[in-house]
Amino acid sequence: MNPQQQDIPSVGADLEQETTGVPQPDGREEETLTGGLRRLWPNFRQATFRSGRARTGRGRALKVFANLFLHIHSTRTHLYSLRFWTTAGLGIAAAASFVVAAVTGVLLMIYYTPSTALAYQSIKDIHYTVPTGRFIRNLHRWSAHIMVIAALLHAVRVFFTGAYRRPREFNWLIGLALLAVTLGLSFTGYLLPWDQLAYWAATIGSNIAGSPRELTDALGVTQHFDPGGFLRHLLLGADYVGQPALTRFYLLHVMVLPLALVGLMGIHFWRIRKDGGLARPSDAQLRAEGLLPHPGRANPTATVFEPGPKKTYGLMALVRGRTPPVGKGPENTAPSWPRALRAEMAVAMTVLAICMLLSLLADAPLKEIANPQIPENPAKAPWYFLGVQELVSYSAFMGGLLLPGLVVLGLALIPFLDRKTEPAGRWFVPRPHGRRVFVRSLIVGTLLVVGIEALAIRLGWIRGWGRGTAMEPWLANPPQLLIIFVNPATVLAALYAAWSLWIYRRTRSTRLAAIALFTCILAGFVVLTWIGTVNRGPNWHFYWSPGDWPAH
């Protein structure tokens, strides 16, 4: 019953056998109009669904195989891939929240008008007069947040399970691009309501884009070479956030970025198949660790086929490496229909249910109409950029552009520096060192970021130092270049890099060094995001909670 043990006949022939429930029309009846009408429904059903209930393994395979949307799966899925903690469903969650956002986004587009004069009112109309308009907007907002969270966690999962390793390097890069597009989608959507929140978040974002000026100004070359001004202009189409910016953000949000996302998603999914399904250890290893069913009465097919260790089974001309069904062993797999699809649907519906619950409980914010005369205080970017904004408060260029750029570059380099292929697909490989390095790096990374932030918050940065000493006048007004290159962001980055290099020196493992650095960055991201979101109030002063903010 395994698909590859049979010759795969032409698709049409297969389907005919599958559609046993449909009575075969005899020729005479078929020719008559009444006969055609009488058989309209069964014929239509056969033409549309092509198959009835899939009762056999082959039928299930065909369900997947003969469907445009399902055939991105292989017909069978490895049991290990179906385990919840292999993926935690995060990739599917990100994709599902995108579908929710896309559908609700199209509904919002029916009423939204991308004009500075009308945008705000059109959102108000969506809130107040469009049937369930507020609910739909809430869904859009919440699904966007969930998409960002899921995409971030998905990247974390892929990293810690080592699933980026050869031959999946390219898909890791695609994933990074998807993460960037996701953040871009979320950020461009932020401006569209044209309220105070939107206006000032976009202003901050564009100022970060313009922050290379900080460096060029300090070097005195802005007049000749002004990449910051160029970036800012490219984003806004003007010197301030206005109609040209709204038009650009709208275009990016509803067309350019979604198309890019869909395209990249297609490649991302397709690569999973081409790279042999989800990363996983070998069957032998899994079985040794009790993660696969042992052969026995309950699993008669568990060891039908054990690939020979020195043989390759690939269709050499067609596919790089070994083909999934042959090399990886068809045993210990389950038909994708319905097992994998049901698991995916469960994740997707859970995401939808969470979105709906949040949408019923909390409304998407809509503040006063945008007013360039009244800056929000504090003006904050969307939450996922608040860690960056915290660093930006020391140096816009370093914290907002260069360091995030270096982080992205570093992430992209990981699979090219860590060239091992095995073992992958298990958390914190190589075990047990991976987990140990992770825990230690988590502690070190958290302590470092908290320490540096505490220092900067308590004592200020450079300007507040050396009170009453001979250095005071110089420290009170340090050169801009010093601030750009020595600030909490760069110091933190340097310490993280040092920690990672130390791990490398001790272990001689790029993977462990990568775990150290990645974990530190993760800890830094979480802590900084928390500080930026919760602890920063008016004038970006530190408060233990927003309740302590002075009343305006």
Partner 1 sequence: MSESNRPDPRDPGEAPSGRAAKIVLLLASAATLAMLVLAMVRENFLSEWRWHQRTYRQMLQASDDPRQRELGDAVAFELRQVDLPQFGTTDRCVSCHLGIDNPAMAGAKQPYAAHPGDYLANHPVGDYGCTICHRGQGAATNFHEAKAVDAHWDYPVLPPGLTQSSCGICHDAGSPLMAEHAPKLALGRRLFEDLGCQSCHRLHGVGGQLGPALDNEGLKTRHTQPMADVVGEPTLANWLVQHFADPQAVVPGSRMPPPHLTARQTEALTVYMLSLQDRDLPQTYVAGDLVTGWDRRLHQRTTDGATLFANYCMRCHGEGTYGSYDKFFERFMPAVRGPGLRAMADETYLRRQILDGRPGTLMPGWNAQTGGLTDAQVDALVNYLKAGDGGPVQTLRPAPTPLAGGDSARGGQLFAQLCSACHGQAGEGGLGPALSNPSFQRAASDELIAATIVNGRADTAMPAFQRPGTAGLTDAEVRDLLAWLRTLALKGK
Residues lying near partner 1 in the complex (CB under 8 A) are found at: 1, 55-57, 79-84, 121, 124-125, 127-129, 131-132, 135, 195, 287, 290-294, 298-301, 334-335, 339-340, 342-343, 345-347, 349-350, 352-353, 356-357, 359-360, 365-369, 371, 373-374, 550-552
Burial profile 286-325: b = 16 or more Cβ within 10 angstroms, e = fewer: bbeeebbbeeeeeeeebbebebeeeeebeeeeeeeebbbb
Side-chain half-sphere exposure of 433, counting CA atoms within 13 A = 15
Residue 458 Cβ vs partner 1, minimum distance, rounded to whole Å: 26
Whole-number minimum distance, CB 21 to partner 1, in Å?
A: 18
Residue 336 C-beta: closest distance to partner 1, Å: 11
Please, which residue, 80 or 98, has the CB nearer to partner 1? 80
> In the bound complex, what is the minimum distance in angstroms from residue 369's beta carbon to partner 1?
7
Q: How far is the CB of 123 from partner 1 (least distance, A)?
A: 10
Q: Which is nearer to partner 1, 39 or 127 (CB)?
A: 127
In the complex with partner 1, the residue whose CB is nearer, 46 or 77, is 77
Nearest C-alpha neighbor of 189 from the set 102, 129, 95, 128: 102
> Least Å distance between CB 523 and partner 1?
30
Distance CA 503, CA 436 (A): 11
Whole-number Å distance between alpha carbons of 336 and 57: 10
Q: Which is nearer to partner 1, 290 or 432 (CB)?
A: 290
C-beta of 127 vs 273, nearer to partner 1: 127
CB 180 within 8 Å of CB 411 = no
Q: Which is nearer to partner 1, 118 or 454 (CB)?
A: 118
Minimum distance of partner 1 from residue 185's CB (angstroms): 24
Please give the distance of CA 190 from its chain centroid, rounded to a whole number: 18
Taking residue 210's Cβ as centre, other Cβ atoms within 10 Å add up to: 24
Residues 6+ apart with CB under 8 A from 48: none
The rounded distance, in Å, linking the Cα atoms of 209 and 204 is 9
For partner 1, the closer CB: 82 or 260: 82
Residue (19 or 350) nearer to partner 1, CB: 350
Q: Taking the complex as a whole, how short is the minimal distance between the CB of residue 283 and partner 1, in angstroms? A: 11
Q: Rank residues 229 and 293 by Cβ distance to partner 1 and give the closer one.
A: 293
Tell me, what amino acid is at 324? P
CB-count burial class (<10 Å; 0-12, 13-18, 19+) for 544? exposed
How many residues are given for the chain?
552
Alpha helices in 321-467, H assignment, sequence order: 324-327, 341-361, 386-392, 396-397, 403-417, 433-459
Buried b (16+ CB within 10 A) or exposed e, 156-181: ebbbbbbbbbbebbbbbbbbbbbbeb
DSSP class of 542: B
Structure tokens at 469: 């000493």
Quick one: 212 or 537, whose CB is closer to partner 1?
A: 537
**Cα 275 to Cα 337: distance, rounded to the nearest angstrom:** 20
Where in 107-200 does DSSP place strands (E)? none
The least CB distance from residue 207 to partner 1, in Å, is: 21
Question: Distance between CA 244 and CA 95 in Å, rounded?
Answer: 31
- Shortest Cβ 48–partner 1 spacing (Å): 23
Could you tell me the smallest distance in angstroms from the CB atom of residue 92 to partner 1? 11
Residue 37 or 117: the one with the smaller Cβ distance to partner 1 is 117
